[in-house]
Amino acid sequence: MKIRELGVSGSFEITPTQFGDDRGLFAEWYRFDVLEQAVGTALDLRQANLSVSKRGVLRGIHFADVPPGQAKYVTAVRGAVIDYVVDLRVGSPTFGQWDSVLLDDVDRRAVYLSEGLGHAFLSLADDTVVTYLVSDVYRPDREHGVNALDPEIGLELPIDLDEISLSPKDEEAPSLAEAIRTGILPTWVGTDDDASRATERQDGR
């Protein structure tokens, strides 16, 4: 298993070692101890989610109030997605920036993102199955979004806009500028050398 930090601090790409023969293959796609050593904190697993998406479905950008926030460990067990990590932590050195990883059923990579980071993905194939291991249960009153099509964020989408499908909730999500004005974004409380420390709500709650 190889782990590489992404361009957004607090996020990592995980590439498992696959062992194949004429029967099929085997791979460890999650190891709590290896992840903790690389990331510097344990993933306190509280819930596991699964989504099935058609080609062109764009989910996100989602994030949760911090504390406690919701760290995520995401992989595609069937099909393929472009997975996006967006820094929504006000004051972060990489605020407003994003990085992406191709998750598919060939290389079987995963992405880990710490609390306070925004998450989105674009499905590249019909019947794509994505799984998420998360550090907190779903709390609808503490979940938020930023519009994934906001030009200020500028996600690079390898599918034409007329092929992209969003949920009504994601379509109505605020722009990054609106999210800043309303004070819903997390605040960076770490340093350049302390990339994965917990964050707190911008409004202090």
Asked if residues 30 and 131 have their Cβ atoms less than 8 Å apart, the reply is: no
Size of the chain in residues: 205
Write b or e for each residue in 179-200: b if 16 or more Cβ atoms lie within 10 A of its Cβ, otherwise e.
bbeeebbbbbebeeeebbbbbb
Distance of CA 20 to the CA centre of its chain: 29
Catalytic residue among 62, 73, 119, 144: 62
Sheet holding 98-104, edge to edge: 98-104, 80-87, 117-123, 58-64, 143-145
CA distances from 105 to 11, 19, 30, 74 (A): 21, 14, 15, 13
Catalytic residue among 73, 84, 112, 132: 132
Q: Is 144 a catalytic site residue?
A: no
Tokens 């996600």, residue located:
155
Q: Is 132 a catalytic site residue?
A: yes
* Closest C-alpha to 112, from 13, 34, 199: 13
Active site residues: 62, 132
